[in-house]
Amino acid sequence: MGSRNNDVILSSQFAAILSVTIIGVGILSLPRLVVEGGGPDNWLLLLAASGAALFVGLVMAFVVKKFPGKTYLELTQTMFGKPIGTLITLGFSFYLVIFSAAEVRIFGEVTKQYLLLNTPLEVLSVTLLVLAVYLARSGIETIARMAEVIFPIATVIAILMVLPVLPELDVSYILPIFRTPFMDFIKTVPTIFFSYLGIEFILLYGSFVKDTKKVHKSVLLTVGLVTWFYLSVTWLTVSRFGLIETTHITWPALELFKTVDIPGAFLENIEAFIMAIWILSVFMTLAVAYFGASLTLSQAIKSKEQNYLVLPLLPIIYFIAMIPDNIAQVTEFMDLYAFYMGTLYIAIIPVALLIMSFFKKEKRGKKSA
């Protein structure tokens, strides 16, 4: 096997990769989605969804710890047999190609709307893809180091940026609680659960983690950090705009930062600054998904190196990204994608792997003896 496929990352880097991937694009529209579903109980909705994400995350961590060092293909083949395992891995590669295409398109639409008004969507998309190709070809260690640097910097800057808004917030917008009908609340939980899209990378990148015993700690840290981030942004957005206005804004999180007025005005265009941090985050999300797509494809077709497949995937991702006519179609498509393919790869396959792992216990013991 090529050296790139034997890279090793630390559990802290693993948590950084997962966190930056999950937050990625989802953070922009999240406040609108939770307010539409839960009204003033939006925070309860987020906590319920985070509980579901934590459950599947720990299921995947258990499987990774039980079979340390096994690749996604090896895991699925061990549990389901070679033909089905190969098919699931190929499907996962396709799933990640679509994931990457959606990231590219949303990046293009948001950047064009808020930052580079006259730049063609195609140019923005290709630029991001070319940069992602470079990072995806560099291997998981390089991606992990970048995630470890970008995630804390982006988080600290976002916190500092939002401090001037705090005195202007109206907490009455998030009261009274427990107003949402129980059935409406339960129906919306799965939608918000898909804001944790990216947690399925635990099974994919768990094999690279040096200290496998700490994988569950990485999962706890990731879900905790992401939930705190989501709750903070949602609470701030709702307290700033109110419940009704939040549901009418396409990207509430960006609009929140647009209203920030820093005393002394040493930063004239704060929006551009926030966009730059968001672009870094999306770039990381794309690189992680892109690398995953080439990695699973190389495993499924028995290629020795993952990086040979990175470039051929570029035109495929680009053309899929350009299929929708507008942002409304992108959102509609992402909802369907998350519901069907997301459910399969985030919930069904990990739980099936967990169940099958109990039956494989005896066999594994003899082999390792």
Write out pLDDT tens, residues 197-251. 888 898 888 888 888 788 888 899 999 988 988 888 888 888 877 778 777 877 7
pLDDT tens track for 29-88? 788 888 877 777 778 888 888 999 999 999 998 888 888 888 888 888 888 888 888 899
Instruction: Using alpha carbons, list the distances in angstroms from residue 97 to 55, 203, 255, 291, 366.
Output: 26, 17, 29, 10, 38
pLDDT per residue as tens digits for the range 102-155: 889 988 888 887 777 788 888 888 888 988 888 888 888 888 888 888 888 888
> Hey, what amino acid is at 286?
L
pLDDT at 140: 86
- Phi first, then psi, for residue 276 (nearest 5°) are -60, -40
| Distance of alpha carbon 83 from alpha carbon 129, whole angstroms | 32
Q: What's the CA gap between 238 and 43, in Å, rounded? A: 11
Average pLDDT of the chain is 81
Are the beta carbons of 29 and 166 closer than 8 angstroms? no
**How far, CA to CA in Å, does 252 sit from each of 22, 106, 273, 319, 358?**
18, 15, 17, 28, 45
CB 272 within 8 A of CB 115: yes
d(Cα 57, Cα 203) in Å, to the nearest integer?
A: 9
Which residues on neighbouring strands pair with residue 209, listed in sequence order?
A: 9
Q: Which of 57, 83, 63 is nearest to 360 (CA)?
A: 63
Would the pLDDT of 172 be above 70?
A: no
Task: Answer yes or no: is pLDDT of 268 > 80.
Answer: no
pLDDT of residue 365: 40
Q: Is 356 exposed, middle or buried (0-12, 13-18, 19+ CB in 10 A)?
A: middle
Q: Model confidence at 270, in pLDDT bands (50, 70, 90)?
A: low
CA distance 246 to 244: 5
pLDDT at 175: 64
Mean pLDDT check: name the lowest of 84-88, 104-108, 298-302, 330-334: 330-334
Using only C-alpha atoms, the chain has a radius of gyration, in whole angstroms, of 21
Q: What was the pLDDT predicted at 1?
A: 36
* Cβ pair 247, 35 in contact under 8 A: yes
Rounded average pLDDT over 246-270: 68
Look up the pTM and report it: 0.84
Residue 53 CB contacts under 8 Å (≥ 6 apart), including other chains: 193, 196, 199, 223, 226
- For residue 6, is pLDDT > 80? no
Confidence of residue 96 (pLDDT cuts 50, 70, 90): very high
Most confidently modeled range among 6-10, 271-275, 288-292, 323-327: 288-292
**Other CB atoms within 10 A of residue 45 CB:** 26
Task: Tell me the residue type at 64.
Answer: V
CA 316 to chain centre: 21
CA-closest candidate to residue 19, choices 172, 155, 210: 155
